Amino acid sequence: MYTIAGGGRYVQLLGRVSVHDNGQTLNIPRGKPRHLLAYLALHGRTQHPRERLAALLWPDAPLSRGRRLLSDALYRLRQVLGEQWLHVGRGAVGLNLGSDFRLDVWEFEQSIRQGTRESLERAVSLYRGDLLADIEADWALAPRVALRESYLDALEILARLAEEAYDTGRALGLYRQLSQADLLRESSYRGIMRILAKENRFTEALEIYESLKALLARELDAPPEAATRRLAQALQDERDLLAFRHQMGVSLPDRLPFVGRQAARATATRAIELALGGHGGVLLVEGEAGMGKTRFLETIRESATWRGAIVVEQRIGEYPASSPLGPLEQVLSAVLGASKTIPVADLLSPETLAALAIIHPAWRARAPLAQLPAAQARLRFHHALSEFLALVSDFAPLVLIFDDMHRAEPSLWEALSALTPSLRHRRLLLILGHRPDETPPTGWSHLRRWEGEARLRVARLEPLSLAEMEALLPEHVPASAQEVRAITGGNPFFIQEYLLGHDDDEPAHQLTIAGRAANLPAEQRAALEAAAVLGDRFSFALWRDLLQFSNHRLAQIGTALIARVLLHLDDEGYHFVHDLVQEAVYKRIPEERRRLLHARAAELLAGEDDRSQLRLLALHLDRSGQAERAADVYIRAGRYEIEQLAFPEADFALSRGLELAPEQHDPTRIKALLDLAYVCQVIGNRERQRRSVDEALALARELDDEDLVFRAMLARGDWAIHAGHHDDAARQLQDALALAEARGHDSERLEVQQLLGDLYLRMGRVEAARTSLQQALVLARLAGDRRHEGRALDGLAWSMIQLGQDQDMALEMLHQALAALRESGDALGEARTLLNLFSVYENIGAWDRMETMADEVLAAQKRAHYWLGESIAHQSLGMAAYALGDFDLAWSHAQAAREGFEAVGEQAGVIIATDALGLIAQARSQSTEAERYFRSALHKAEAMDAAVFVAYAKQDLAFLLHGQGRNREATSMLREAIDQWRECGDALNELKCEALLGLALFAQGEEAESKALARRGWHRFRQDDVSGDEKQRWLWTLALLWKTLEGEEQWGSLVTAAYAELQRLARGIADDTARERFFHAVPLNGAIVAARDELAGVERRREVLLARAEAPLGRPLREEERVRVTWTVSAPEDESIADKAARRRFVLTRLLREAATYHAAPTDHDLAAALGVSRRTILRDMAELAQTGIAIPTRRRASATAPARG
């Protein structure tokens, strides 16, 4: 019981009301005074109107009488409490809280909110009884129920914690306390039953169930809950099984108690608590075979469940599931079943649901999906899976457990890896159990990456210590814990095997699994061998059909094998108690019998005609020695796996099928080879792709099968394209084109011309690309093929851009391409063409039009599930916003781009986006952040051996370091970047780095080399043959170098050229606000404008005297009715407007806007004088502006007494 400590004022409302002042108990009058004090304390943070208190406590009395009774109750309370307790005003009454006031209810609620074991213990001790147990009042009912529920929940959590810690005595006491506090709370009775069962007190546990059943029938006329009934049945079965084992001479339970693992449990508990708090991740549970991973995962599951998480567990079997993603299919179904209150189908888009049809076929008809390349289709599925799990975890914490991940196939590893980037911000925890020595390289590559990205926690299960062994071993075992540990190595599974083989009448020894199996009666041994052939998990029906036993006979055998701790039975069917048992039994089956059992299993599976069982059927045929049949099924399984986007598994199945197939030259083998080549392309195995294509092409030519020859030629060209052998690819595609023309197949000609056009664009053979794409366009229009028409138009537009031809015509072609692609429903083609349109706008500096198109372009990428395209769009938008000086928007887009590139594994994109974040941070004067991003980009680029990206990162970092005066660091980076730019022929970036290097060298006293670099830059400037992105940066940096060297002529010419470059870029910006930001918000541009203005003696601002807006009309203005206004009469953005009238109207609106900020009203003459035009021109401009909806508030000319004075 919680005791009162310390002084001060303390009120207890839990149980009977009790009031204490500095350790002294006060005798509060019974009746309404006590009710009043209890109410004021319960709602102590509020002052209560007298009328409300009177109506609450004396609801039947007239208001006037109620007020008198309230005053009387207050008087009686103050007589006992003194003046310091109550605040009594004319209109309201309340408690004087102060720092010395405490209330047990508040302390109880705070302890509940904290939720730790210690705080819950304190909450339980505070709960002396139900709230206001000695007061009957309606206003007390709701808080009484709420507090009681909190108390009961705390009791149950503490009981669960004790049960989880195997403190059975403490757990039993808490569950009994809970059942006494709430007679109808079934979970407490289940807890008692579980604890008693763990102590092998099955009879007592079942008596508890019978008493509960009688209580519910008497009080509610209802049976126990389904969970309680299932537990009772399981305990009944356990009791019967113990009795059966006793008869069989087996005294050990099928599982030993769970002991130790404190460090691993602490790691797991921490991971769960973090995930529940919105910081998910991956928990890896690892240990060698028999170390107790599965048992450990059960304790984790219990821990996560009582904490309120949805927990779904899936074990990876020895044999292939229905598909490589079968475990995810089971997980999705289980999550849907556990989250029925979440309207998943309403909250996710139809496209997302349809993308998940691979593992949930019921959603296939939700929406038509765009045809995507294999890699993009796989990304679409991964993104949809991530969306689904994120949605569920928004409603409830989600824990997904995958046991035996060392058996997982590559596609499952890839899918889980795609989830990991978003886990750190989700209430989602992945828990993976594996054996390190059996996990394949594919799995280890993912694990190492997660660990490097700080997404992985590891709970390692080590051999049991001597102390843990002593706690584990039964008393009747004569050998010491040290002796048993020496025999078993502290491995829990081997300890159990040792105990199962121990005979009390003979010296202790270890009986092997195989030995126990060999000692079985013949019929049981045959059944166990058949089970081993079916795998570590199997259905009763398949086991029965394989053995051709009756149901009753096999059930009896199953019970005997369960009793001998060889098999186990649960809701999903039979399984071996450990896969080491299955493995040992399987290895001891005579080879002929093993082949016969596999052959029978194959026949049973073949009769089911289920494509999802093809992999399992192929495996049984393979192990039965039926090579030719196995080859056919493996190839069919490979094609099914391609449909399931499981390309690594398709690679294995097709390769194994071709390996087993007879060496015969037929179309079946050629098609399988082409399928394998496609799979190898997707997974990036270029060498095997080439070998498969070459063999297919040779066989097709031997057979003289033109259809297959054409397909093999395209596949050979495709390999050459992806391998970077572009000349070889062109030859192959030209041969395919010749064959298509000879056959007169226009559809084949169209396909090849499109491929050739795309290839020639890659090769830089732009004229050849145009020729092929024009022919593709003609063929597509003749065939009415709008999809290929759109793609040909897109390629033609891009070729025009590459040739520097009419960009307006190129833009028109892109818009035509968009119309055709949209009409054909080619969502991916539309998304890519919109990205090309973005690129055109970026090239011409139409950054404002990019911002206008942003929503349309991003939506198109989402519709096509083209996540790489969405990231590219964000990157382009980020750089457009950066160019226009909107650095907050730029930052948002660049962050989205980096996260997107990370999610799709596009490392080059990650580097580009990271470097962009550095540029934006630098523009925001966040030097430390900028340096961090530049160095991160540099590190990633060096790890990829991406020389161009390394050069960009070093160049950008060097500009930052020079600005901070760290010239020695900048110098070494610039020299390396210059070498790289020179090697790849990028003249502009080479010149940028050389100009900055000159500045850095001069700052270090190396004037000679600095002058040489300045002269080289000046020579290139005079040649006027340099173009590219951010040319103004080079011109400005070179200008600064010449200014440092006191080259005034060069300084002036270069500043003028930099300013002209800004004006050229500004002419591509149509939006007035964006153009203004471009000049004034970008630090580099602002510096160039200021330098040019100083050189040219430009005065952009003028101070004028204007009438105040509120000044009266019709009389001369007094001095105080005028205000001085600073007008921008000339701005750099004005000069980029070619049309003189449009430029004047632009300036006019700016002058009016600036006057309004001073609350001034200029006259027509004021404006005419400022602009140097006539009043008539001003009036004409105002009329033009009014027609466009722009209001021009000016002071009437008749009211002005004098023109504005400068």
The fold of 262-462 is: Rossmann fold (3.40.50)
Angle at 33 between CA 29 and CA 36, to 5 degrees: 140
Q: Could you count the other beta carbons within 10 Å of the beta carbon of residue 903?
A: 22
pLDDT tens digits along 107-164: 999 998 888 888 899 999 999 999 988 888 888 888 998 899 999 999 999 988 887 7
pLDDT at 1201: 35
Range ranked top by mean pLDDT from 248-262, 273-287, 1106-1120: 273-287
Quick check: 380 pLDDT over 90?
A: no
The 3-class secondary structure across 703-764, one letter per residue, is HCCHHHHHHHHHHHHHHHHHHCCHHHHHHHHHHHHHHHHHHCCHHHHHHHHHHHHHHHHHHC
1196: pLDDT confidence band, cut at 50, 70 and 90? low
- Phi, psi dihedral angles at 222 (to 5 degrees): -145, 155
Quick check: 785 pLDDT over 90?
A: yes
DSSP category for residue 1195? B
Quick check: 1200 pLDDT over 80?
A: no
- 573: β partners: 570
Angle at 427 between CA 328 and CA 322, to 5 degrees: 5
Pairing of strands 18-21, 24-26: antiparallel
Hunting for tokens 């549970």 — which residue is that? 285
Q: Are 35 and 6 in contact (CB under 8 A)?
A: no
Q: Are 874 and 894 in contact (CB under 8 A)?
A: yes
Of the candidates 1099, 1014, 1024, 1029, the residue with the CA atom closest to the CA atom of residue 1057: 1024
- Phi, psi dihedral angles at 283 (to 5 degrees): -110, 120
Of the candidates 106, 139, 136, the residue with the CA atom closest to the CA atom of residue 123: 106
pLDDT at 503: 45
Q: Could you count the other beta carbons within 10 Å of the beta carbon of residue 552?
A: 8
- Give ranges for CATH 1.10.10.10 in the chain: 516-589
Question: For residues 130 and 117, what is the distance between their CA atoms, to the nearest angstrom?
Answer: 22
Of the candidates 809, 770, 766, 763, the residue with the CA atom closest to the CA atom of residue 792: 770
The beta-strand segments (E) located in 844-952 are none
pLDDT at 501: 65
Quick check: 1191 pLDDT over 70?
A: no
Residues of the chain with pLDDT > 70: what percent? 94
What lies within 8 Å, CB to CB, of 941 at 6+ separation is 911, 949, 950, 952, 953
What lies within 8 Å, CB to CB, of 31 at 6+ separation is none
Correct CATH for 1099-1199 of 1.10.10, 3.40.50, 2.60.120, 3.90.930: 1.10.10
Alpha-carbon distances of 519 from 135, 246, 568, rounded to whole Å: 72, 18, 19
Question: For residues 594 and 542, what is the distance between their CA atoms, to the nearest angstrom?
Answer: 16
- Give ranges for CATH 1.25.40.10 in the chain: 9-237, 745-825
Question: For residues 617 and 614, what is the distance between their CA atoms, to the nearest angstrom?
Answer: 5
Quick check: 526 pLDDT over 70?
A: yes
Q: Could you count the other beta carbons within 10 Å of the beta carbon of residue 895?
A: 16
- Give ranges for CATH 3.40.50.300 in the chain: 262-462
pLDDT at 79: 85
Quick check: 452 pLDDT over 90?
A: no
- 25: β partners: 20
Q: Are 430 and 423 in contact (CB under 8 A)?
A: yes
Burial (CB count within 10 angstroms: exposed 0-12, middle 13-18, buried 19+), residue 182: middle
Correct CATH for 9-237 of 1.10.10.10, 3.40.50.2300, 1.25.40.10, 3.40.50.11810: 1.25.40.10
pLDDT tens digits along 845-887: 889 999 899 999 999 988 887 888 899 999 999 999 999 999 9
Average pLDDT of span 150-179: 87
Question: For residues 547 and 767, what is the distance between their CA atoms, to the nearest angstrom?
Answer: 71
Residue 906 in 3-state DSSP? coil
The fold of 745-825 is: 1.25.40
Quick check: 1154 pLDDT over 60?
A: yes
Pairing of strands 86-88, 92-95: antiparallel
Residue 1041 in 3-state DSSP? helix
Question: For residues 391 and 346, what is the distance between their CA atoms, to the nearest angstrom?
Answer: 11
DSSP category for residue 407? G
Burial per residue of 357-387, b for 16 or more beta-carbon CB atoms within 10 angstroms, e otherwise: bbbbeebeebbebbebeebbbbbbbbbbbbb
Residue 524 in 3-state DSSP? helix
Of the candidates 1162, 1164, 1189, 1161, the residue with the CA atom closest to the CA atom of residue 1178: 1164
Quick check: 252 pLDDT over 50?
A: no
Average pLDDT of span 156-185: 87
pLDDT at 507: 32
Question: For residues 705 and 666, what is the distance between their CA atoms, to the nearest angstrom?
Answer: 10
Domain range 516-589, CATH class: mainly alpha
- 403: β partners: 315
Residue 459 in 3-state DSSP? strand
Q: Are 858 and 870 in contact (CB under 8 A)?
A: yes
pLDDT at 502: 54
pLDDT at 510: 34
Hunting for tokens 């130790």 — which residue is that? 260
pLDDT at 5: 52
Identity of residue 870? E
pLDDT higher at 116 or 477: 116
Quick check: 1050 pLDDT over 90?
A: yes
pLDDT at 543: 94
Tokens encoding 791 = 């793609």
Average pLDDT of span 903-925: 91
pLDDT at 246: 58
Average pLDDT of span 191-214: 87
Dihedral, CA atoms, 882, 884, 890, 891, nearest 10 degrees?
A: 70
775: pLDDT confidence band, cut at 50, 70 and 90? very high
The 3-class secondary structure across 1131-1196, one letter per residue, is CHHHHCCCCHHHHHHHHHHHHHHHHHHCCECCEHHHHHHHHCCCHHHHHHHHHHHHHCCCCCCCEC
pLDDT tens digits along 945-984: 888 889 999 999 999 999 999 999 999 999 999 998 998 7
The 3-class secondary structure across 72-114, one letter per residue, is HHHHHHHHHHCCCCEEECCCEEEECCCCCEEEHHHHHHHHHHH
Of the candidates 317, 345, 320, the residue with the CA atom closest to the CA atom of residue 332: 345
- Phi, psi dihedral angles at 828 (to 5 degrees): -70, -45
**Type and span of the H or E element at 1007:** helix 1007-1023
Across all residues in the chain, what is the average pLDDT? 87
Q: Are 464 and 485 in contact (CB under 8 A)?
A: yes
Average pLDDT of span 209-236: 87
255: pLDDT confidence band, cut at 50, 70 and 90? low
pTM: 0.66
pLDDT at 756: 93
In the chain, helix, strand, coil percent, each to 5?
70, 5, 25
- Phi, psi dihedral angles at 1101 (to 5 degrees): -120, 150
- Phi, psi dihedral angles at 575 (to 5 degrees): -155, 155
Quick check: 1111 pLDDT over 60?
A: yes
pLDDT at 746: 92
Tokens encoding 245 = 């084992």
First to last CA, the chain: 87
**Type and span of the H or E element at 478:** none
DSSP category for residue 1163? B
pLDDT at 934: 96
Question: For residues 610 and 58, what is the distance between their CA atoms, to the nearest angstrom?
Answer: 76
Average pLDDT of span 1179-1194: 80
Quick check: 539 pLDDT over 80?
A: yes
pLDDT at 845: 85
Hunting for tokens 């009795």 — which residue is that? 243
Average pLDDT of span 414-424: 88
Angle at 387 between CA 381 and CA 388, to 5 degrees: 90
Burial (CB count within 10 angstroms: exposed 0-12, middle 13-18, buried 19+), residue 6: exposed
Tokens encoding 581 = 């048992």
Burial per residue of 553-582, b for 16 or more beta-carbon CB atoms within 10 angstroms, e otherwise: ebeebbbbbbbbbbbbbeeeebbbbbbbbb
pLDDT higher at 519 or 147: 147
Average pLDDT of span 65-80: 87
Least confident stretch, 98-107, 493-502, 604-613: 493-502
pLDDT at 818: 94
- 24: β partners: 21
Q: Sheet holding 48-49: strands in order across?
A: 48-49, 92-95, 86-88
Number of H helices and E strands in the chain, helices first, is: 56, 17
Average pLDDT of span 54-68: 87
Quick check: 254 pLDDT over 80?
A: no
pLDDT at 814: 94
Alpha-carbon distances of 546 from 350, 517, 1078, rounded to whole Å: 43, 19, 78
